[in-house]
Structure 1
Amino acid sequence: MRYLAPLLVGLLYAILMSLLPEPRRRRFNAVMVAGAGAAYLSGGGLGGWEFAFTAVAACVAYRGLESWTFIGAGWLLHTAWDVVHHLKGHPIIPFAHDSSFGCALCDPVIAVWCFAGGRPPWALWRRHRTDEFRGAGRSALRKETAPVEE
């Protein structure tokens, strides 16, 4: 459960965020990644580096207002920061020792969703299946209608 729960939380995040219409979905996720960048600010245990990371995360989140790629990059930056806190700093939730570890597993799931354009997961699957069938239908159709050479 230590590994599965954070992955499921990331998937649940993508599903719930998919209920927001575009472009609000992208802008809201830019705000979320900015907030994640400041999550350790009040006690992460890394001193001035907490402020530096928050500044970098804010810049990336600002670019994310217009780009899913930057939002995904922001989640990957936060993943790296989670790993640093798990190994050297304080956990994101003070009373849950492995909370930074869990966050480091959850964030890449969200990042992959963002790199896919923040589309609803069911639309991505449907598009993939439709393209797969279209491609098969086209090649079969070409073989049937190809002119016969004598």
Structure 2
Amino acid sequence: MNLVSPVITGIIYCLLMSLIKEPHRRRFNAMMVGGAGAAYLSGGGFGPWELPFVAFMTYVAYRGLESWTFIGIGWLLHTTWDVAHHLKGNPILPFFHDSSLGCAICDPVIALWCLRGGPSLIAPVRRWFRPSRTGHPAHHPLPPATGPHRFDGQAGIRKT
């Protein structure tokens, strides 16, 4: 199984979610993690044990309506459920044996983004691809001097 594509999928998910403005982004992600909790309900292989997990994930998703931390926790819980299904249960996609493993790799990427507060990634991506005025992509203009000190422009030395 390709281990890179689930990471890329997680990054794309976060980028697409960044198109949604707050607070709708947080609420939409709470619904997504609630749905992820029910992903194995129709045949995950753990029988009646699937129900308590869905109930708990529903609670976590409800708390996620007002908290990015709970959404991140929900994705990490789903990661553990993915690992359990990969090792002992049925895959999330019955026609793709390693689909639960892929989901277990993708979900922590999303969880990390959520635990950071689900920030918009659009502006950083635009800055990354925007050409620099000096032609050097790593050039960042120095901040203007404030207060009684002035910046002399060499090796970060401030003179008074």
Q: TM-score band, normalised by the shorter chain?
A: 0.7 to 0.9
CA deviation after TM superposition for structure 1 residue 123, in Å: 4.3
Cα deviations by residue, 1:59-115 (Å, 9 ceiling, x for unpaired): 100000000000000000000000000000000001000000000000000000101
TM-score (norm 1): 0.84
Gaps of 5+ in 2: 128-139
Amino acid at match of 2:158: E
Aligned-partner Cα distance in 2 for 1:145–1:71? 49
Q: Which residue of 2 aligns with 1:73?
A: 73
Structure possessing the higher radius of gyration over alpha carbons: 2
Q: Which residue of 2 aligns with 1:58?
A: 58
TM-score (norm 2): 0.79
Higher relative contact order (CA 8 A, sep 6+): 1
Gaps of 5+ in 1: 127-132
The 8 Å contact of residues 18 and 122 in structure 2, kept in 1 or not, is answered as no
Aligned-partner Cα distance in 2 for 1:14–1:118? 8
Aligned length: 139
Report the RMSD for the aligned CA atoms in angstroms: 2.3
Amino acid at match of 2:34: A
Cα distance, 1:117–1:124 mapped onto 2, change above 3 Å? farther
**Matches for 1:60-139 after TM superposition, within 5 Å:** 60-123=60-123
Structure 2 SS opposite 1:15: helix
Percent of aligned positions that are identical: 61
CA deviation after TM superposition for structure 1 residue 49, in Å: 1.2
Aligned-partner Cα distance in 2 for 1:68–1:115? 6
CA deviation after TM superposition for structure 1 residue 117, in Å: 0.8
Aligned-partner Cα distance in 2 for 1:12–1:143? 42
Q: Which residue of 2 aligns with 1:18?
A: 18
More helix per residue: 1 or 2?
Answer: 1
The 8 Å contact of residues 27 and 64 in structure 2, kept in 1 or not, is answered as yes
CA deviation after TM superposition for structure 1 residue 121, in Å: 2.4
Q: Which residue of 1 aligns with 2:135?
A: none
Question: In the alignment, does 2:32 pair up with 1:32?
Answer: yes
